[in-house]
Amino acid sequence: MSSRTACRTTGDSIVQKRATPRVLIVGAGPAGLALAIELGHRGIPCLLIERNDRVGYAPRAKTTNVRTREHLRRWGIADRLRAASPLGVDYPSNVVFCTRLAGFELARHENAMYCAPGRNPLYSEHAQWIPQYTVEETLRAHAQSLPDVEIRFRCELRGFEQDSNTVSATLRDLEHQRDIVVDADYLVGTDGARSLVRDLIGTRMEGQYGLSKNYNIVFRAPGLANAHRLGPAIMYWQINRDAPSLIGPMDSDDTWFFMPTHVEPGVRIGNIDARAMIGTATGIDLPYEVLSSDEWVASQLLGDRYRKGRVFLAGDACHLHPPFGGYGMNMGIADSVDLGWKLAATLHGWGGPALLDSYEAERRPVHKWVLEEAVVNHATLGNQLLADDIEAPGDTGARVRREIGSRIQAAKMREFSTLGVVLGYGYDDSPIVAPDGSAAQERDFINYVPSSRPGALAPHAWLHDGSSLYDHFGSGFTLLASTAATTTEIESVTADAAACGMPLKVIQPGEGGVANLYPARFTLIRPDQHVAWRGDGWPGAAVIRTVTGFNAP
């Protein structure tokens, strides 16, 4: 019998043992819910545990980016999230920089994060400005509708043992105050910034903790939207000496968020008169009703490893970003998509040992790049943009505001026009991507240039019938064949896939625009919509063995 590695926090007695899921997921935030959905759609029984009594406590992230919403489209719930938008999907996603809501406008970025509805050739779904708790509730409802997903609230991890075949976890049923032992094939920690799973597998977070201490205040202010002349926006950056801050609408019923970007060191949120600070920052006197307030720390941290044996980390458990750019939640969901299809392939038997090894190899370099982008954005906040006479009347004030406006346009485009980051990353050095010798694209945080080279996100296109090209991809691998490919050639590929047990769907779109995006005779696309291989001739089953993880590099 193989030896077991024990990682437990208590020695409590065991009173009950439950049925075996294939994957145990710890933490029902966006990453945990996304992993449960990805597995549930692939027929993998999973158990998702959460120590709280529900999802969606804190507002936190508000940007669901285009790539995340493309995953929701694949799961069939993008329209459901769109309908849940409290401000309405047509609400303009402008970001306005001003001295105060009642003051002078300095600059503005329109259609920030690409939230405007309508068809864009580069992606299948627009982004959405929506509170994280609404996103979590949409994900939870869908996850619980899947027969292979079980969610248990008021249940926490106490520890686990693992050997070469199984992870045996001790859970605490907090409602009935009893311990439960659950055996699973794999365990995934999506348990956030204070991850217990991370601690138990000995992962160290490297980087810088505490780039800044921040405060998030949620308040109700009837009439505030019409009490200024700056027009609708999702964020107003207020740049003044009294209370530099971010403010914006968050939910229905006149619910707003307020985030000071500078508070004197040592001041705790309990000692802040939030209503007075909001009034000072905006220059608008209203009966502000504070609904909640919390402190949080912006950090730049990356786990030194994402796996130990059969235990993995995803989301904030292994990478923590400053929030500027809206990357954190979206990166966590992308982690779960990457890991989810690989776990499913392994458990279904057509994924080899290099498949799960590739999770960290693919995701960690992406996290490192995105962390660097978020830190650049964090370096320019409202208090860094201050200047004397910013609120002065007359020509002197106007000149200062023009100068600051130019600085804002240059510095903050990197935060609000980020399609190059959101869609432009690839897995060039992945052990399960078959390179073709083409040169890697230069990284560009703004401009996204679609490419069908191996490792890149498969280029998107709208087809003549109005559907997205992505709608025609299979849940397994997809072979996109050019119109020049013959039936005999395609049958050779499908026969090799069948012999290897790899699920494969073949599509052969006739649109010229698709042919321009996919110039090779054949392009093999992974379940997560990244390109695995391309070529003008089929080299045989060796390609399949590489992309499914059986041919280790």
Q: What is the mean pLDDT of residues 86-115?
A: 94
pLDDT tens digits for range 257-301: 999 887 666 656 666 788 999 999 999 999 999 998 888 777 889
Taking domain 431-547, whether its CATH number is 3.40.50.2300 is answered by no
Q: What is the mean pLDDT of residues 119-129?
A: 96
Query: What pLDDT does residue 463 have?
Result: 97
In three-state secondary structure terms, 20 is coil
pTM for this entry: 0.93
With residue 249 as reference, give the H or E element that holds it.
strand 245-251
DSSP class of residue 346? H
Position 10 pLDDT exceeds 50: no
Position 19 pLDDT exceeds 60: no
Q: How far apart are CA 333 and CA 354, in angstroms?
A: 22
Position 518 pLDDT exceeds 80: yes
* 428-463 per-residue burial string, b: 16 or more CB within 10 A, e: under 16: bebbbbbeeeeeebeeebeebebbbbbbbbbbbbbe
Query: What pLDDT does residue 34 have?
Result: 98
Query: What pLDDT does residue 15 have?
Result: 40
- Percentage of the chain surpassing pLDDT 70? 93
CA angle (45 as vertex; 39, 50 as ends), nearest 5: 80
Q: How far apart are CA 283 and CA 98, in angstroms?
A: 12
Position 18 pLDDT exceeds 60: no
Position 14 pLDDT exceeds 70: no
Query: What pLDDT does residue 270 have?
Result: 65
Q: Give the C-alpha distances (Å, rounded to integers) separating 241 from 165, 219, 280, 332, 441.
A: 60, 22, 10, 36, 43
245-251 vs 149-153, strand pairing mode: unpaired
- Domain range annotation of the chain: 5-79+128-203+304-360, 431-547
pLDDT tens digits for range 29-54: 999 999 999 999 999 999 999 999 88
Query: What pLDDT does residue 295 have?
Result: 81
Query: What pLDDT does residue 266 have?
Result: 61
Question: What's the CATH code, domain 5-79+128-203+304-360?
Answer: 3.50.50.60
pLDDT tens digits for range 378-412: 766 666 778 899 999 999 999 999 999 998 888 88
In three-state secondary structure terms, 112 is helix
Position 6 pLDDT exceeds 90: no
Mean pLDDT, the chain, integer: 91
Query: What pLDDT does residue 267 have?
Result: 59
Position 452 pLDDT exceeds 70: yes
